[in-house]
């Protein structure tokens, strides 16, 4: 696991200096840790004054109310929920994915081949979204993007990493759920409404995905694995199965928990939260069962 520095954020809520909430006791009660990086809706004043696009247009970057769903499903797990929006800084991108068309601190020599997301304007700080050609009024200074990394990006990842280490120490292994939502992939009954991602087997042992696939099937929810979403930087950074650190991404169709406009929590939220709760419990059970099997050998 990468060293993301010191931990930031409170035990059960927001720290005044943090841009995220950390739910759950500091001493882990579950081997499951939940990350919610794209649900933030608190647009900083500094951002409002610096963008040319209307805030409403930036909602397309949000996993709309995925934080509300996560809180409804939460029990004993450590859960880290970002409050600031993805448009400010994207926690599911590498620090090196800085856009040279926007960011004065971008250094192509250190980036290697730019990813498709970066070429599309969806780097560490998004440059565009949907039909909006440019989010920002002008280029971003290198020191300002560096400040976002230090203040918002690294503390979030440090908190996730610390929670995983604590869970592994207590339970022998830990499982990260990186929770997202997605626009509908197609009509109900014709397309998956939940997509699980494990970086094509690199970020988690197959038994963990198998357990949550069972829960989706039992609920009658069509699901897929790694297509079209296999997971991103968070899984790459925190999923190290050989070290007892597993990470899976769960993408949930917004129709399952939002209203018809896909804007506000809808009638399906309680049932979807209950399904997510069962998935968390199944992952915890699998983690503990696996360690018991190892101990018995």
pLDDT in tens, 54-91: 999 999 999 999 999 999 999 999 999 999 999 999 99
Q: Convert the pLDDT of each residue in 121-159 to its tens digit.
A: 999 999 999 877 899 999 999 999 999 999 999 999 999
**CA within 13 Å, CB half, 273:** 18
Report the pLDDT value the prediction gives residue 202, as an integer from 0 to 100: 98
Q: What DSSP letter does each residue of 104-124 carry, written as one string?
A: TT--HHHH-SPPHHHHTT-SS
The mean pLDDT value for 77-106 works out to 96
**pLDDT, averaged across the chain:** 92
pLDDT-derived band at 3 (thresholds 50, 70, 90) equals very low
**29, 79 in Cβ contact below 8 A?**
no
**Per mean pLDDT, which range of 3-7, 192-196, 212-216, 224-228 is the poorest?**
3-7
Tell me how far apart the alpha carbons of residues 192 and 201 are, in angstroms, rounded to a whole number.
19
Strand 20-23 vs strand 78-82: parallel, antiparallel, or unpaired?
Answer: antiparallel
Q: Specify which of 45-54, 107-116, 180-189, 207-216 reaches the highest per-range mean pLDDT.
A: 207-216
The mean pLDDT value for 153-178 works out to 98
Spatial separation of the C-alpha atoms in residues 101 and 108, rounded to whole Å: 11
Among 246, 238, 75, CA closest to 171: 246
Reported confidence tier of residue 93, pLDDT bands at 50, 70, 90 = very high
Contact predicate 115/79, CB 8 Å: no
Percent over 70 (pLDDT), the chain: 91
| Position 294 confidence tier, pLDDT thresholds 50, 70, 90 | low
pLDDT reading at 12 higher than 90: no
According to the model, what pLDDT value does residue 98 have? 95
Q: What is the Cα gyration radius of the chain?
A: 19
CA dist., res. 273 & res. 35, Å (int): 15
pLDDT band at 205 (very low <50, low <70, confident <90, very high): very high
Q: What pLDDT is attached to residue 130? A: 82
């Amino acid at each position: 696991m990468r060293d993301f520095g010191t931990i930031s954020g409170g035990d059960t809520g927001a720290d005044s200096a943090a841009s995220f909430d950390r739910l759950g006791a500091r001493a882990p009660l579950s081997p499951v840790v939940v990350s919610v990086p794209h649900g933030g809706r608190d647009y900083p004043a500094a951002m409002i004054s610096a963008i040319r696009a209307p805030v409403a247009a930036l909602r397309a970057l949000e996993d709309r109310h995925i934080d509300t769903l996560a809180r409804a499903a939460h029990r004993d797990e450590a859960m880290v929920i970002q409050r600031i929006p993805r448009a400010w800084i994207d926690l599911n991108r590498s620090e090196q994915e800085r856009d040279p068309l926007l960011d004065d601190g971008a250094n192509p020599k250190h980036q290697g081949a730019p990813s498709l997301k970066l070429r599309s304007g969806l780097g560490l700080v998004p440059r565009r979204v949907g039909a909006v050609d440019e989010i920002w009024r002008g280029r971003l200074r290198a020191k300002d993007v560096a400040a976002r990394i230090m203040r918002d990006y690294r503390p979030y990842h440090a908190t996730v990493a610390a929670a995983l280490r604590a869970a592994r120490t207590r339970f022998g292994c830990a499982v990260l759920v990186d929770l997202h939502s997605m626009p509908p992939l197609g009509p109900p009954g014709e397309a998956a409404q939940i997509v699980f991602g494990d970086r094509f087997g690199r970020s988690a042992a197959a038994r963990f995905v198998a357990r949550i696939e069972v829960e989706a099937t039992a609920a009658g929810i069509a699901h897929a694995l790694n297509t079209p979403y296999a997971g991103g930087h968070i899984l790459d950074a925190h999923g190290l199965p050989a070290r007892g650190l597993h990470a899976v991404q769960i993408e949930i169709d917004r129709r399952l928990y939002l209203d018809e406009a896909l804007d506000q929590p809808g009638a399906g939220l309680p049932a979807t939260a209950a399904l997510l709760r069962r998935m968390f419990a199944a992952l915890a059970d699998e983690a503990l069962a696996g360690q018991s099997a190892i101990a018995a050998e």
